Amino acid sequence: MHRQLSSICTIKILLLIGSTLAGCDIRPVAVGQWQVQIEDASGSREQSWRIDEDLQIEMQGAGQTLRSQIDTAGSRFSWTLPAEGSEDGNAINFGGTVNGNRFSGTLYAQSGNATVTGIRQ
């Protein structure tokens, strides 16, 4: 009887915790305004990235603005853009990890990879 009562209490506690967490909207860690540094074989350049609550990213730099949808998983985030003017379907891919108010990652492109770092503004 005591064991059965203990099991029922445990189940109720787990259900309560689960329903409480289900009602929480946890903000993805990548959301925010970022000052970004991109370094590749040709040198270094700066951009500004803004990631909103709908997981849309807007990247501004070198006189152009690019937009994409991002994917998140815990502290990791990624996005893909079609390569500009590409007729063969090449894309630019990014994968990175947020750690507090900083992130680091890699841009992958057919022309070569680039190291990317960012600081939340």
The domain in which residue 99 lies consists of 32-120
For the chain, the domain total comes to 1
Is pTM beyond 0.85 here?
no
What pLDDT sits at residue 20?
46
What pLDDT sits at residue 21?
45
CA nearest to 39, candidates 98, 93, 117: 117
For 54, the token pair is 């709908």
Residue 9 lies in a domain: no
Tally the C-alpha atoms within 13 A of residue 97's C-alpha that lie toward its C-beta: 1
Residue 82 lies in a domain: yes
Count the neighbouring beta carbons within 10 Å of the beta carbon of residue 115: 13
**What are the angstrom distances between the C-alpha of 51 and each of 8, 14, 85, 88?**
44, 34, 25, 28
Which spans in 1-92 are helix H? 2-22
Tens-place pLDDT, residues 51-66: 999 999 999 988 888 8
CATH of the domain at 110: 2.40.128.20
Do residues 46 and 37 make contact, with C-beta atoms less than 8 angstroms apart? yes
- What confidence tier does 28 reach under pLDDT thresholds 50, 70, 90? confident
CA nearest to 59, candidates 75, 45, 76, 41: 45
Residue 50 lies in a domain: yes
Residue 21 lies in a domain: no
